[in-house]
A and B are shown apart, each in its own frame.
Chain A
């Protein structure tokens, strides 16, 4: 076996086998070179070169050139990705996947490959969607096809299958694939007519695993490099939640996606494109739960209508878009002194603001609100129907921002005292800390959640509860570097903003979204690389997203034994 421990995967591949770029720790051998060196085409590689030098090393424990991509499970298009893909492929903006059963989530994300299950219901929905899309797309053949299949016959159809197939399968079709599709077309053309046969062929393509799944089959061996087209799809679904565009296909075809810098260049181009907000919004809303919904007691909170909930979601989306695409990063996420409001939302918050339905960037006054943690949408989501929930809010911070989910509640929970309107929420939760059986876990959550007590169950500011002044003091315990006391949400957010644990957690969440799976021990070096780039950038999400395209997990894939 050809082993290689390169300081760059590109050079390593250059000097060694294209298909065995790979490389597992401890096998010996090394390569050195410039990371920008291109990987040669397979034929140009010296298959017999098994030379190697001594191991590289950075002192971090993550050896240069040791490629460990971690698992690469096949990923099916999510509802969001399917809708975007058919919009980009066919110009169909009907969002047909909204009729699919909603995805089972893993680690909070809808794109977790391990949580993707198949059911009869789903397959029937795929079929119905493909039929509708194909019918709509073939209602005007001249729009879909650049030639006339009736007048120009088989040559036209073959050329259509080649160009449409490339876009739909996100790679060039093999000759026998074109033949097979053409034969399917021909049979149906003879049985019915040309438009029917085109429609049936388009529908078959849309029901194919090559369309529904992001299929990666390049290479062999334990670890392999991806083809340019496979990289193109990884880029487009990471950055746009959709298929590659023409530029990206061209980059794949011309070999520009065979080097890490070439990939980074495309990633930067794509990040600057408005389509990047599709992915960013999904990452943040599923990470933070701002896509959640909640019910409130309408007698207590008549202002909290479904319409307001929709606007609150928009507020968080616009805020995140701004700090990701216009700078601000993690610091702004936690401490940004601005938000986005329109007239109905300003009125909900009870502040002066824009006079129309359009959202505008608004500076927040000092002392009460800053950052996403103080946005009412998030605060209301992590609250009960009729009262706040320091437990749920503390659990959210612990789970989503510190990546340290507390254990679930035990069985046989001792009786809680009946709700007493003369007590504050904080007072009623006192038993969580006085009872040793509860305290073990609740000290991880409640004292963090108390920091939000100035915000009621719908996320609006309050100075009193049950006739008593709000006490929003709290404490973070059992973290690597965020421990300490605070008074109120802004001091809490301030502590979190200085924490490397929070920074590392943001990296993990981005990893989960980008690679469609949970991290594990084998991903340590990928996480280290991402973490160091994110830290160096001062918590800039743009830097993190680009770096996500430079890791082993992105540039390579693991093959399972069965190949």
Chain B
């Protein structure tokens, strides 16, 4: 695979002595034969405010199947996933043990005045498995509500570091309206590159399309793409500025600028990679339908659909193997009028079980089903579907939203990730810290790590979920 790509690209020397590979034209690359090994992909699909399934009122089965094993019934909230039941793995008994421990009421610490909002805590722990950052004394890094940004790298970014070099983008973050009513706060961000390094999602599908396919359009194979060469020269010069400045800075300032510098470096590397990946057969000519202002809530469904179509295209074209789609934000209170709601999502979750809330959560399940079915209908290079070689983790920051419970966190997985995971089954793991779920994702992606997040909360994947 690597040699094929290298043999097809011309190495050119541009102004300023920058080596630059021309992006390979899709046509230059023969489609890979069926039977080749397909890449594995990880997708995090986030929807806010947990589930409406009310354990006390006895309607838990709206979300959690009453039966374990292969003959499970999908309840009212998750029924749209029925067509994908063969690709679906439902795991109950995954608990946010470390998340619960972050809460001040469970873990009173007299030196700490305010711990974070529970949605904030849940959001920061969900993909990192470690405590969020907080310094009550200095007020360091708090949001408008108490609670800081995540305290470690998120699982998708960890995977991206391991597998990302193979594609143009190590990861792509898609988002539908992630800014809260009071700006970007800790519960707006679920992805992070490390402690206090939250990563934003692109909220505009048109901008994302341009980002993925619009820049670095392949030039004619025989000519130098001056625009690309010039960009590389400039980025190279700018890196020199950083290198000259950094020794003059203190530790934390240097870290901050170093994070900037490494992204500049990555961008320069990105320019040298083919626009589409080595395994791709890719047609981007359809573009995207216009969905209006992506930050206007009336366009929420259309924006999300555009993002999902683009996400499917990105995986198909092999521009990345790690992606996430974040709908709204933790504790989101937007009104899902298109799903029949007249009240805010978060407000409703505290009124107990209501048909409106079930309808909103069902609408989100429909979106996941749409994405899953689109990937199922997309053939992969090994003759299977892209979904077969992918795992989509449907995540939320809390379990049962009504009580902000971190017990029984949502753990619905779609796709076996190349046969790594059991599917078509509901398993009850009986109370395992959610770090086990994160390790499961690493294993599914073919990594050997046996531990992720806070090591205090165990090692190994969730029991019995790997095929």
Contact = CB atoms under 8 A, between A and B. Distances in A.
A419 B351 CA distance: 8
A142 interface: no
Given A119-B193, A124-B267, A409-B404, A107 B142 contact: yes
A99 B344 contact: no
A297 B117 contact: no
Contact of A121 (B173, B248, B335, B403): B173
5 contacts: A105-B184, A105-B185, A200-B233, A208-B238, A411-B106
A291 interface: yes
B342 to A, nearest CB: 5
Interface in A4-45: none
Contacts of A209: 238, 241-242, 245, 257, 260
Interface string B136-179: 01111111111101000000000000000000011001000001
A294 B342 CA distance: 14
Interface stretch (B25-33, B39-47, B73-81, B97-105): B97-105
B116 interface: yes
B104 A407 contact: yes
Interface of B: 14-16, 56, 100, 103-106, 113-118, 120, 137-147, 149, 169-170, 173, 179, 181-186, 188-189, 193, 196-202, 207, 211, 226, 230-231, 233-235, 237-238, 240-242, 245, 248-254, 256-257, 259-260, 263-264, 266-267, 296-297, 333-335, 337, 342-344, 347, 350-352, 402-406
Contacts of B198: 104, 117
Nearest to B202: A121
Given A180-B240, A405-B114, A519-B139, A386 B202 contact: no
B400 to A, nearest CB: 10
B252 A215 contact: no
A116 B267 contact: no
A122 B263 contact: yes
B149 A104 contact: yes
Contacts of B402: 413, 415
Give the interface size class of chain A: 35 or more
A47 interface: no
Contacts, number: 246
B233 A291 contact: no
Contacts of B403: 411-413
Interface in A203-225: 203-204, 207-210, 212-213, 215, 217
Contacts of A293: 181
A419 B240 CA distance: 62
Given A102-B183, A188-B16, 12 more contacts: A99-B207, A117-B197, A118-B197, A123-B266, A192-B230, A209-B257, A399-B144, A411-B118, A518-B138, A520-B138, A559-B250, A563-B248
Contacts of A74: 249, 253, 256-257
Contacts of B266: 120, 123
A208 B333 contact: no
Contact of B137 (A200, A381, A520): A520
A290 to B, nearest CB: 10
Interface in A245-300: 286, 289, 291-295, 297-299
A56 B89 CA distance: 72
A211 B264 CA distance: 15
A561 interface: yes
A204 B231 CA distance: 9
Top 10 nearest A-B pairs by Cβ distance? A560-B250, A518-B139, A191-B15, A101-B200, A123-B263, A74-B253, A520-B138, A108-B144, A410-B105, A408-B117
With most chain B CB atoms within 10 A of its CB, the pick from A116, A118, A293, A562 is A118
B237 A106 contact: no
A73 interface: yes
Interface in A183-202: 184, 187-188, 191-192, 196, 200
B391 to A, nearest CB: 23
Given A123-B260, A184-B237, A207-B238, A563 B250 contact: yes
Contacts of A116: 256
B235 A384 contact: no
Contacts of A413: 350, 402-404
A114 B404 contact: no
A124 B263 CA distance: 9
A234 B239 CA distance: 26
Contacts of B14: 191
A141 interface: no
Nearest to B180: A292
Contacts of A411: 100, 103, 105-106, 118, 403-406
Given A104-B189, A120-B267, A121-B199, A386 B118 contact: no
B280 to A, nearest CB: 20
Contacts of A406: 114
Contacts of B179: 102
B254 A384 contact: no
Contacts of B202: 101, 121
A188 B351 CA distance: 65
Contacts of A415: 56, 352, 402
B99 to A, nearest CB: 10
Contacts of A419: 351
A188 B233 contact: yes
Contacts of B347: 384-385
Nearest to B194: A117
Contacts of B182: 105, 108, 289, 291-292
B185 A560 contact: no
A520 B139 contact: yes
